[in-house]
Each structure stands twice: as structure tokens, then as C-alpha cells.
Amino acid sequence: MGWLSADVQVTHRLGSAQTTAQVDPGAFTAALMRAAEAHGATLRRGQVTGLLRGAQAARLDGVMVDDTPVSGDAVVIALGPWSILATQWLTLPAVFGLKGHSLVFETGAQVPAQALFLDLQEADGTALTPELFPRADGTTYVCAISSEAPLPLDPADVAPDAGAIERLEAICGRLSPVLGQAPIRARQACYRPVTRDGLPLIGRVPGIANAYVATGHSIWGILNAPATGEAMADLITTGAAVAVDLRPFDPARLPPFDPARLRLGER
């Protein structure tokens, strides 16, 4: 572990190259989309602004995308932490956003393929648990510093908290001289979608025959997304999920969120 500072102690080995693998979330998402497109799916970029109510109250005819109707047999709410905005349209439990910060360093071949999960105490006593992931493309991703800053209405407005990036850069410099000197490709923040009981919402939306929800995977939304996607596909096309028991994730287990409590447009 020569790339780490001398005062970093590695106490456990969690796995090896034979027992672990790493998924790059952006590359994984793009590859899944390409595979879906090869099977006939179409990616349409736009903002969902509402739902199309069917002639029957308990069915949807589709969604409004940028205020244009797009019809569909089934509607899946999968807006991550922004799924809470769908409580304006459907009866759904709350989904909250828990913010995290990260840096992407250009480390080339200086950092071997050794992911690290660390416990660290800052000078003021704050305890943090940084995670470091060297990637096959010669970058190293480091995340730490959660915050409860409010979710911006527009996903494009997500930005790091004041001072958080400087703090994270200082931590990285303390952990490794390689990180202390490497160029930084990205300084960023994102929001994990979390529910009140910590379990995702996967299943039918109560009261509507063809509306579904798939969100709330918190810190495991990359790992669990393929299983959720397969279960949703089964549920929509055959009426039941075969590979996954969806009962613990039933959206009806949690109380519906009252959309009157949303504070839209406030800072």
C-alpha cells in the first residue's frame, strides 16, 4: 500500500481480485441503455411535468414530457430523490435526498486496484468514512462528507456545499501523497434517494392499475439496480416478479407523503 500516507493503517482485507469487482456507474448506465436500444427501446430526454390521466380514474394513459403528451401502457416513477415530486400526482411515500461529495483524480498507473473503506477523524473530532475506488480508466474516485442540504428542484442545480470540496481535497492529501499531487478531473456532489425505513420502494403505486415506482435504493442503487429492473420488467409484463420477492419493498408499507408539505422554490 505504498501509495498511502504512513499514518493510514489497513486493518482488514475485505476481498481479493477473485472475489470482488467494480462497476463504473456512468459506463454501466450507458451500456445498459445501449443494450436496451439494441432491443428496440428509445431514450427520450426531457422533463416529466405531469401524468396523463386515463378515461378510467384508476389508470394512466402516459406522461407529459416537457408539456407534450407521451402515451404509454405503464408508468414507472424512477426519479431518484426527485420522486418525492411525484407525490403531487400519485399517492406515494416520501423519498428524501441525502447528499454526498466526491472527487475524481487522474492517478494513471500510480494507484493499484485496491479499493479502500476508511475511518477518519478530522481535527475538530468529526468522524468520516471516506471510500476510495481506483478505476480501470486511470482515475481514482473518492467520496465522503454527507450533508442534509435541501434537494434543488432542478437536478442540473446540484452543486457541492460551500467548503466541502476543499475539505475533501485536504482529507485526500492527508490520506495519500499521490492524491495530494494528482490533477483533479471532477469536483462534484450527488443525492442518494432514501426512504423513511431505509428500504427501497419497488412495486405498484397503490390505487392505480398501471403505475409503478422503483426508487429509494440509498447507497446501493448501482448494485441493486439490475435486480430491481428485472423485477419491474416481470411485474409489468407478467403481473408478478419471479426472481425477487418484492413484498418488503411494497410502497404501501409506508404512509403517503402529503404534497402540501413540499417547499417548492424555497432556498
Ligand X SMILES: Cc1cc2nc3c(=O)[nH]c(=O)nc-3n(C[C@H](O)[C@H](O)[C@H](O)COP(=O)(O)OP(=O)(O)OC[C@H]3O[C@@H](n4cnc5c(N)ncnc54)[C@H](O)[C@@H]3O)c2cc1C
Integer Cα distance of 246 and 162 in angstroms: 40
Least Å distance, CB 24 to ligand X, is 11
Residues 235, 132 contacting (CB under 8 angstroms): no
Instruction: Quote the least distance from Cβ 3 to ligand X, whole Å.
Output: 21
Q: What residue number has its CB nearest to ligand X?
A: 221
Residue 212 and residue 206: Cα distance in Å, rounded?
Answer: 9
- Nearest CB to ligand X, comparing residues 195 and 210: 195
For residue 6, the minimal CB distance to ligand X (Å) is 27
Integer Cα distance of 147 and 135 in angstroms? 25
CA distances from 66 to 47, 63, 214 (A): 5, 10, 22
CB-nearer residue toward ligand X: 176 or 215:
215
- Cα–Cα distance for residue pair 76/214, rounded to 1 Å: 7
The least CB distance from residue 143 to ligand X, in Å, is: 4
| Residues at the site binding ligand X, with contacts judged by CB under 6 A | 47-48, 78-82, 100, 102, 143, 155, 190, 192-193, 215, 217-223
176 SS3 class: coil
Looking at the Cβ atoms of 170 and 181, the one nearer to ligand X is: 170
Query: Residue 111 or residue 143: which is nearer to ligand X going by CB?
Result: 143
